[in-house]
Amino acid sequence: MNILITGGAGFIGSNLARELSSEGHSVTILDNLVSGYLRNLDALDVRFVNGDIRRLSTLPGIMDKVDIVYHMAASVGNKRSIDDPICDSDVNVLGTLNVLEAARMSKVPKVVFSSSAGIFGELKTLPISEDHPCEPDSPYGASKLCAEKQCLVYSKLYDLDCVCLRYFNVYGPNQRFDSYGNVIPIFVFRILRSQSVTIFGDGEQTRDFVNVRDVVQANRKSGMKPRVSGAFNVGSATRVTINHLIDLIFEASDIRPSLQYAPPRAGDVRDSLV
């Protein structure tokens, strides 16, 4: 198959690219390298295009004869969206609309969109089902919810199947460890360098951590399955407190970190579980 991955030099996209290229598919990566890295694509048999989903004119040409678009390009994270909500919406809402419109014009049969559990906001019930109320607590959650609705509307109006995958807390290789990364790589990076770790809140908040290998398979199967549209949660069905996560890292590394506790951050939910 001919496959396009937007944001394919990023964390999840590069892992998906590795899986699909190893299966013999023809994979094109579109990425502006704002948060992705070319080194994530080292030794992969893929075509790389440096481009931005916010420029509609760059998209139709690279979608010619594409069978599946995995749309992963995004401005990611609650903190980033609170710091710059205009950029967040520009990338996640208008950028997604550009991808959908280019896919429609190029007669691409399938788009798989990377959404987020951030669309739900503070959870009212655990575990969470796909029909849980969507009341996002950050511009990021709101922009992902809007992009989801765009995808599902396109699947109703046009000959284009769209699947929206709502990721919970994904971790694994190629993940960033700066302030916009996931808590696991941030903690590991700092602990291995004998730096203190900051926990926002009391540490008893829970997260549903899901390995990127499982997220890759969710994407792969969603893309390959014909005539399927809809929105689906992607998690591990388990939850771990942040305090227990620190204990697990200590058990694995034998390094007891120096901990600091700070007030909870705006936009962070208390609990998470699929």
- Averages of pLDDT over runs of 10 residues in the chain (274 residues) are 98 98 98 96 97 94 96 91 93 98 97 97 92 95 98 97 97 86 90 93 96 98 95 97 95 93 91 91
Give domain status of residue 242, yes or no. Answer: no
Q: Whole-structure pTM over 0.75, yes or no?
A: yes
Looking at residue 239, its pLDDT comes to 95
| Cα angle 45-219-270, degrees, rounded to a multiple of 5 | 125
Q: Is 188 contained in some domain?
A: no
Domain count, the chain: 1
Residue 154, in any domain of the structure:
yes
Residue 77, pLDDT score: 83
Catalytic-residue membership of 167: no
Q: Which two tokens stand for residue 207?
A: 């997260």
In a domain, 206, yes or no: no
CATH number of the domain where residue 129 is located: 3.40.50.720
pLDDT of residue 91: 97
Flag whether 202 is in a domain.
no
**Ramachandran assignment for 266, one of left (phi > 0), alpha (psi -120 to 50 degrees), beta (any other):** beta
User: Alpha-carbon distance 172 to 249, whole Å?
Assistant: 14
Angstrom distance (rounded) from CA 124 to CA 173:
32
Q: Give the per-residue pLDDT at 180.
A: 66
CA distance 180 to 182: 7
Give the domain extent around 147: 2-169+212-234
- Cα R_g (the chain), whole angstroms: 18
Question: Alpha carbon of 177 to those of 215, 239, 246: distances in Å?
Answer: 19, 21, 16
Give the pLDDT score at 181: 74
* Given the residues 70, 140, 154, 167, the one annotated as active site: 140
Q: Residue 195: inside a domain, yes or no?
A: no
Asked if the structure places residue 39 within a domain, the reply is: yes
Within a domain: 71: yes
Q: What is the pLDDT of residue 142?
A: 97
